[in-house]
Structure 1
Amino acid sequence: MNHPQEASSALRARHDALVAVEPKLRIRDRAARLGVSEAELLAAGCGVQAVSLGTDLQAVFRELGSLGEVMALSRNDWCVHERHGAYTGIEADGGPMGIVLGPDIDLRLFFGAWRYVFAVTENERHSLQFFDKSGTAIHKVYRSADTDGAAWDALVARFASQAPVEVAPEAFAPSQDAAQPQDSAALRAHWLGLQDTHDFFAMLRKFKVTRVGALQSAGRDLAQAVPAGAVESMLQAAAQQALPIMCFVANRGIVQIHTGTVERLVRTGPWFNVLDPKFNLHLDTTAIASCWVVNKPTRDGWVTSLEAFAANGEMIVQFFGERKPGKAELPAWRALLQGLCSEPLAA
């Protein structure tokens, strides 16, 4: 069995050989090519300077509010969500869940999946990067021209670990949820009794069914498949109407949310992009295997969302019209999503 230092040296050699052939690959893609996790590349110093910030990830996270304006990035395999702003309203008290409720950076945190954190310097760009137990990136925080540099350096100095971290990736257990509910009528009845959009996840757990399975069986007045191009056409319409939306991108450890209008939309090959000053979205539209308009009853009236899924059933991105609890859905948003559907939605 190789000594950890020897293993790191061997990984660096493989990494450098790959970079010599394909210098423009991003680190996530380099990790995939090499059959290792991104966190392993950082720990081995492959093309970056990386310092472990220890094992108390929530303690590090709580200090993000001291940094001032930064860029927060969360992504999954098919979609990248970037939001500029400050971390305010941080709640991370050591429990399994946390939240950031700021006007710019808005996050839901699921700390059970979190395992590693590094301060990273790559091509003179500084970031704080959080990873799950498989070594996959959960969340990255990038220093910007408006960041408090002294606070950043103090955070890194406070948590920097002198001992090298050993990344030992662990696979997540596969989902046991069924592709279809055992009782579609019971699921539909439960769906029709929802009082809050947040109750939807609990419904999926109750019926032990995948999200796509629930959408397929609920009835077309509650969930209606629409073409994959619906995301692009919706964003174009929202931009034309200056319609404020909410955009959710998630992975195992986080949900990152943007609320507001979108303006600059750019197609780059397979990627459809929002390139606004404070919000960037990069969506690989070729990965959209199914797309749905989803219709849920709440105590504030019906609420509709547009949801895109990958071939493996994982959600790529989700959109709502801007709203807060206690407020009805924006009529213009409702009309936009109904216009994507070939049949009427329940109302």
Structure 2
Amino acid sequence: MNQLATTEQQYQAFQNAKKEQKLRNREAAQAIGISEGQAIANAIGREAIRLKAPFQDIIADVPKLGRVMALTRNESTVHEKIGTYENISFGHAGLVLGPDIDLRVFYSYWKHGYAVTEETEKGPQRSLQFYDATGTAIHKIHLKDFSNVDGWNEIVQKHRSDDQTPGQAVESAQPAPAEKPDSKIDQEGFKATWLAMKDTHDFFPLLRKFGVSRLQGLRLAPEGYAYKVDNISTQKVLEIAAADGTSIMCFVGNPGNIQIHTGPIKNVKEMGPWINVLDETFNLHLRTDLIAESWVVRKPTDDGEVTSLEVYDKDGEIMAQFFGERKPGKPELAAWRNIVAQLPILA
């Protein structure tokens, strides 16, 4: 679409794409050559209301909504949880630590926020939606039939921006920094520091310290601490865990937010390229055709080794991460290790 197109033209083209092609917002925006955030901003004065920063203040008020659906996604994976926002705190990483809604939030990426009301056959669908500087969705909070609409109205009135002009300028996505050659990495130091980890949270500082990307770090891991498995592994993990009742953790995120499910899963369904968990309070949708690499990763901790399955897309971006359910001070579940042992290792 011509970049000089007006917000009104873009709005109409977006609505037509949704209606005629039966596309969701994200796909309809892509179909007409704009970001989803731009498409929502074009609806200001209609379906959307611009919200003002700081967005931490809005999240602090979200408990007023009662039980809602929290949605976090990346290019290939969607993670949806129903619950209440509880135990909210702010710092370098914001936290929401309820038994159902469990988030690690990086608010520096949150640049645009909107309250959205879409009229549907099921009635008005209300949500709070947050986007990064490129107009890519970071996090959405959807009201359900049991949510508190009065709380939503109160939040919208309190956090409504004075600027309700339709449209939103966005930035172009920046290319990922080039990886340093393996030969320029202190590989022995990297391996020794890996083996000295005391907590899984030591992994990101490890990567930063040695200037390696995540996948590069897995390639350079101490022997036996990271190995590739077949890309069918995500489906196998979900199906085995659903069959034997093993309680798992599933992390899905983007630069601005990570959303975590902890607990058993029951209803796993394959639908075309998607593998899905379709449980009452947890839905996962992952495009298996976009998995480029799958890795089993072992990290030392004070509670013993912790094992994860990590899946990556063609750009080296992490799609999802799976663990056995675990609590500080307790060793990893034997049932989880048994699942991981069944994954087909690649030579």
Contact 2:230 2:344 survives alignment (8 Å): no
From 189, 192, 196, give the equivalent of 2:195.
192
Matched with 1:76 is 74
1:53 Cα deviation after fit: 1.4
Superposed CA offset, 1:156-215 (max 9, x none): 122223422552212354333526542322211111111100000111111111111111
Amino acid in the other structure paired with 2:157:
A
Kindly report which structure 2 residues correspond to 1:291-302, keeping only aligned pairs within 5 A, or say none: 291-302=294-305
Kindly report which structure 2 residues correspond to 1:98-247, keeping only aligned pairs within 5 A, or say none: 98-122=94-118, 123=120, 124-165=124-165, 166-176=167-177, 178=179, 181=182, 182-247=185-250
Alignment partners' CA distance in 2, 1:256 and 1:185: 33
Unaligned regions of 5+ residues in structure 2, if any?
none
Contact 1:180 1:210 survives alignment (8 Å): no
SS in structure 2 at match of 1:301: coil
Matched with 1:26 is 24
Alignment partners' CA distance in 2, 1:220 and 1:269: 36
Superposed CA offset, 1:46-80 (max 9, x none): 99600011222111111011111000000001000
Distance 1:47 1:209, change over 3 A: farther
Distance 1:268 1:211, change over 3 A: same
- Which one is further off, 10-19 or 290-299? 10-19
Unaligned regions of 5+ residues in structure 1, if any?
none
Alignment partners' CA distance in 1, 2:208 and 2:215: 13
Alignment partners' CA distance in 2, 1:183 and 1:161: 49
SS in structure 2 at match of 1:233: helix
Matched with 2:48 is 50
SS in structure 2 at match of 1:158: helix
SS in structure 2 at match of 1:119: strand
Superposed CA offset, 1:88-146 (max 9, x none): 00113xx5420000000000000111111111112221111011111111000011121
Matched with 1:7 is 6
1:150 Cα deviation after fit: 1.3
Contact 1:179 1:212 survives alignment (8 Å): no
Distance 1:46 1:148, change over 3 A: closer
Kindly report which structure 2 residues correspond to 1:229-268, keeping only aligned pairs within 5 A, or say none: 229-268=232-271
Alignment partners' CA distance in 2, 1:47 and 1:266: 39
Q: CA RMSD in A?
A: 2.1
**TM-score, length-scaled by structure 2:** 0.92
Alignment partners' CA distance in 2, 1:237 and 1:127: 34
Alignment partners' CA distance in 2, 1:19 and 1:198: 41
**Are 1:278 and 2:281 an aligned pair?**
yes
SS in structure 2 at match of 1:340: coil
**TM-score, length-scaled by structure 1:** 0.92
Superposed CA offset, 1:218-246 (max 9, x none): 14500010000001011111111100000
1:17 Cα deviation after fit: 4.3
Distance 1:71 1:229, change over 3 A: same
Alignment partners' CA distance in 2, 1:269 and 1:318: 21
Alignment partners' CA distance in 1, 2:222 and 2:168: 46
SS in structure 2 at match of 1:146: coil
The count of corresponding residues between Structure 1 and Structure 2 is 337
